[in-house]
Amino acid sequence: MRRPVIAGNWKMHNTVAETTALVEGLLATRPPASVDVVVAPPFTSLPAAAMVAAGSPLGLAAQNVHWETHGAFTGEVSAAMLVELGVGWVIVGHSERRTLFGETDRTARDRARAAQRAGLTVIYCIGETLAEREADRTFAVLSSQTDGLGSLDPDRLVVAYEPVWAIGTGRTASPEQAQEAHAFVRSCLERAFSPAAAAALRILYGGSLKPSNAHELLARPDVDGGLIGGASLDVDSFSAIIRAAADRAAGV
């Protein structure tokens, strides 16, 4: 059984004070030890989150990282800067970075390699748009986006499948659609690494997972957790998803 990961991507939400309160509230729920729980506040709130979470099992992630160690890259942050803050995880290649800010498969892989060299665990995002799904190109897109991942360390890699058409739209992939995509991604990872490495690698669902559908989605054999957006901004809803992942880990 792969250990579930529930990661909250807070995007451009929460001031330092709001981040502190949310992390404190989450820790007060005593997240179960059977689940890797990770939060990704905005850059400005990472030091405060690290201070509150110090000594707890809560993982801290950044939402992006640059592929160079230093240089004239205005607005960017290096992996070493994140490690210095106590960050252990980083999200790379998120659909919003791809669609709004020009991220490509190549630059995402470059960021991931730099992050892993610094000791960070990468949550690497892939997924198709609505137009690509309607054109029956889902598998072609996922195959292309996983091509080249063999240059990464699978032991410091988590893949997040984001059906872009189900993010912030109110639409959600059915459990059957999610499982089909996750199983295909795992087959791609077998080619990138090895069958054994792919079997151990965790694949998260990142398309509007929430308390009402968490149990059903997480019950699928190749869905190993979730990359959560809006539902992670509320302690009660985020905790409910974490409990659903704990149920999966317990075989409930």
- The CATH H-level superfamily of 5-249 is Aldolase class I (3.20.20.70)
Structural element, H or E, at residue 131: helix 130-134
Average pLDDT of span 140-166:
95
**Where exactly are the structural domains of the chain?**
5-249
Catalytic site positions: 94, 162
Cα separation, 56 vs 58, in Å, equals 5
Structural element, H or E, at residue 196: helix 195-200
Indicate the pTM of the whole model: 0.97
pLDDT for position 170: 65
Quick one: which of 176, 152, 190, 200 has its CA closest to 3? 200
Hey, what are 57's tokens? Answer: 């099992």
Question: What are residue 8's DSSP bridge partners?
Answer: 39, 228
Per-residue pLDDT tens for 178-204?
999 999 999 999 999 999 999 999 999
Per-residue pLDDT tens for 232-249?
999 999 999 999 999 999
- The proportion of the chain whose per-residue pLDDT surpasses 90, expressed as a percent, equals 92
**Residue 57 vs residues 32, 65, 102, 230, 238: alpha-carbon distances, Å:** 10, 23, 34, 22, 16
pLDDT band at 70 (very low <50, low <70, confident <90, very high): very high
